Amino acid sequence: MLEFRLRALETFRSKAMPTWGADLSGLNFDEIHFFVPPETQKVEDWNSLPCLIQQDFGKLGVPNAERQLNMAVQAQLDSEMIYGCVKRELNQKGVIFTDTDTALREHPDLLRRYFGTIVPPSDNKFAALNSATWSGGAFVYVPAGVQVEMPLHSYFRVNAKEFGQFEHTLIVLEEGSRLSYVEACSALHRSTESLHAGVVEIVVGPRARCRFTSIQNWAKDMYNLATKRAVVKRGALMEWIGGNLGSRLTMAYPSVYLAEPDSRAEILSLSLAGAGQHHDTGTKVIHAAPGTTSQVNSKSISRGGGRSTFRSLIQVHRGASGSRSHVVCDSLILDPLSRCDTYPELDVAEKDVEIGHEASVSKIQWEQLFYLMCRGISESEANEMVISGFVEPLARELPLCYAKQLNELIRMPMDSAVG
């Protein structure tokens, strides 16, 4: 691992900063602390955590997720996991759910086989940075044929200032298995910039099914520059569900490599950009085998001068006949100060395929509000109803606690929301 880190560090130094997309000129690596250990050791008993940390994670719903929703839970503070609770029935099925640091010590053969293979350090500058400096993250291994009924849940929290969080998550599903995994990210607001450059690698074995839900509500001084990718084998399904609610700047494009015939990808995402925020997000799907299918549905809302950018790449390799893909991008702009951009790319090297892309940009129309207000609904409530209807396809797929959080954000004051 030391050799892996050193090679990755050289790769990071050799790669230039991206000049396309969002503005990264304000990011200064010399001002970032790359490792900040929490002031507590990892425990398995919630009551063993210091009171202040209990209060901090309690606001995020960690104990509720574990006790009431029957989730297996991990929580990371700054650079290390501080809490982990694995249900006994998971261990009995042979499922491994632990932090990546522990997995490196206890399951070295699995990490040697998969770590850094789906997202290699050479992929991009921030993947190289993660490979060199990674700490924390989750490791999940599901044996063949095992159906994990309860969702696995990881919380990532940043409390330190001028800090970089570089967790590395690795998920492996063997043939015929099934898993639902949820990650939630948040941070205290500071007056100085912080950095999140996480990596997620997922291997979905033949006829397996993986659902990965990610909700980030970082503070508005955070640069969120994550790399997430899945490789999907024959007859398997990968589902990405993502919500970008916070951060000053986000550049994240979850991607799926459909490596074998009849593999599928379904991607659903929401971006909510407010004042001082730029969410440059999207997705990539590579159809590398015959009969592969992908469905992408993206929603974005811009208000208060916020900017949403959607980038998509659908690539069909030669020989991937019978592949199908449909991309839908819908954007809602709530005031004249806000902005939305869409950059779709189709790279098709095969004739026998079905590829579609559609995009729309709209405002809340007065006619919609008038219809609702005629039925005794106030203008502010009518605004909320229209926006709630817009994001409903994503909200119904979220765990209940995050759907409630999303509704709270929608209820924030929306001056000049009517186009």
Residue 416: other Cβ atoms inside 10 A: 12
Average of per-residue pLDDT across 270-274? 89
pLDDT digits (tens, 9 = 90+) for 340-390: 999 999 999 999 999 999 988 888 777 777 778 888 888 777 777 777 777
The answer to whether 224 and 218 are in contact (CB under 8 A) is yes
Average of per-residue pLDDT across 285-298? 96
User: Does 302 score more than 80 pLDDT?
Assistant: yes
What CA–CA distance (Å, rounded) separates 307 from 260? Answer: 37
Which of 242, 263, 237, 239 minimizes the C-alpha distance to 253? 242
User: Does 106 score more than 90 pLDDT?
Assistant: yes
Radius of gyration of the CA atoms of the chain, in A: 21
Share of the chain above pLDDT 70, in %: 87
- How much is the pLDDT for 324? 97
The residue whose two tokens read 């009518």 is 382
User: Mean pLDDT across the chain, nearest whole number?
Assistant: 86
Instruction: For 193-262, list the strands marked E by DSSP.
Output: 194-196, 199-204, 209-217, 222-224, 227-232, 237-244, 249-252, 255-258
- How much is the pLDDT for 414? 40
Is 371 or 180 the better-scoring residue by pLDDT?
180
Is 67 or 76 the better-scoring residue by pLDDT?
76
Average of per-residue pLDDT across 4-33? 92
Reported as a pLDDT band with limits 50, 70 and 90, residue 254 is very high
Is 175 or 80 the better-scoring residue by pLDDT?
175
The residue whose two tokens read 């806000």 is 338
- How much is the pLDDT for 416? 36
Half-sphere exposure of 112 (CA within 13 A, CB side): 7
Reported as a pLDDT band with limits 50, 70 and 90, residue 65 is low
